[in-house]
Structure 1
């Protein structure tokens, strides 16, 4: 069993250099796909690096890396944002527990070091009304309470900021739906996995850091509009 880690960079060179995973290629096969070229690029020789000729979406980039990697069904394919700070030991701990639980999707606890709070990377089912109201500040997206999180094992979905998926399941799902350019593709993937009998397992004792930017909360920003388009596609198309 091998572990393949897929990272997509959008000008995140400085963040990648803070991530000790890039120096752990002896334990994992690490793939960095660069969506936005950078002048001062520094990537360890052991890391598989690809520069996109054309900018692609979140899901499409990870799908391309999966096809490049060609993992075996029992291998782990780990989707990891460049703004995640995790140690090799944390990744191993997560996957060891996932294997013991017979899980095919696994998520850690992500901690936002900017707010010093839980990042709510695992959530209950998305409800359109609450999601739309959250866009205009009238509500919050659905979240688990602190009490629920203490004993939570199987959330309805987990963020693609860090999500480990058995390669066999990822292949059966056809990967991410690349019609989503950014946002909601993780909700969609987890939902389709559930129809195949595979639910996300949450391991809250494994805590990683997420330097989340949250640009999608700025009304009418490009990220906000991408999020809105993805919501419309998820619920109506």
Structure 2
């Protein structure tokens, strides 16, 4: 078995006005045990830059070029500042330890590099399990989710409904599998909230597509990783806390639907892309 060390892992964290959450994330992460933590600042705010500068220290560096090209662009720029075997893209609103990142890197080694990208199980602060990966993106599922019917359903009923949806509409691992116990779960895509992979894999597939500004860039990257012959998976034995963005938690915002429209446009589904564009206008 190949030994993986924490010092083999670099973390890239893209932030936009989230210095307080960056601080909380670093407190949990304990960067001195890792190779490096690169914080890429997408803001153009002097006060925010000052707050982030105060977080700079041993194994933590902050970079900015004064522009905001979106999440994926920030990740790509931050990645260029790393030189380790593994890279983990961690959101500022994600609390994950270095030991948990190490466990995810060990998944990749255990399967001989067949796993191209792996994420932990997502858990919200209230203990509810979130979606850190899933089946192929469905416009019908997204429109159903936009009604926010799951917000009013009891937890048990919601899980039954998700399981029923999976049986009827999903091939392979559906959303219901995310809630089940177990180890590695292969999915069509994994979330960029806490995604780790070999740096060589990220380079080989060309990094994040910078046509996305926010949302669905992780889905599209997962597609390219799978097309390159790798697996993408959730390790349900490893958990990370995610303080979901206010925009998403209060309903799908326009940025979410624009990201989806870009995704379907790239995949050459013009009708689905148009529907997502219309939803963006209504959000």
Indicate whether the TM-score tops 0.5: yes
**Correspondence 1:2-17 to 2 at 5 A:** 2-17=8-23
1:165 paired residue number: 197
Report what 2:80 is aligned to: 67
1:32 maps to 2:39: yes
Higher alpha-carbon deviation: 189-198 or 99-108: 99-108
Q: Which residue of 2 aligns with 1:145?
A: 176
CA 1:147–1:33: 2 relative to 1, 3 Å: closer
Q: Rg bigger for which structure?
A: 2
Report the equivalent of 1:128: 139
Q: Give CA-to-partner distance per residue, 1:125-147, whole Å, 9 cap, x none.
A: 11122113322436789752158
**TM-score, normalising length: structure 2:** 0.74
Q: Which runs of 5+ in 2 are unaligned?
A: 151-161, 167-173, 267-283
Deviation by residue 1:23-60 (Cα, 9 ceiling, x = unmatched): 32342211001112314332132212113411220100
Cα root mean square deviation, aligned: 2.4
Higher helix share: 2
1:5 and 1:148 map into 2 onto residues whose CA distance is 27
Determine if contact 2:33/2:98 at 8 Å carries over to the other structure: no
Name stretches of at least 5 consecutive residues in structure 1 with no aligned partner.
Answer: none
Checking the alignment, whether the CA contact within 8 Å between 1:98 and 1:201 is kept in structure 2 is no
Query: Could you say if the C-alpha distance between residues 214 and 156 of structure 1 is closer, same or farther in structure 2, counting changes exceeding 3 Å?
Result: farther
* Distance (whole Å) between structure 2 residues aligned to residue 107 and residue 147 of structure 1: 12
Task: Determine the C-alpha separation between the residues in 1 that align with 2:98 and 2:89.
Answer: 14
TM-score (norm 1): 0.87
Residue 105 in 1 paired to residue 127 in 2? Answer: no
Query: Aligned equivalents of 2:31 and 2:188: distance in 1?
Result: 31
Distance 2:116 2:178 in 1: 25
Q: Deviations over 1:179-234 (max 9, x none)?
A: 01000001101011111111112211111111112413546xxx711111111121
* Distance 1:194-1:147 versus aligned 2 partners, 3 A rule: closer
Give 1:150 shift.
Answer: 2.6
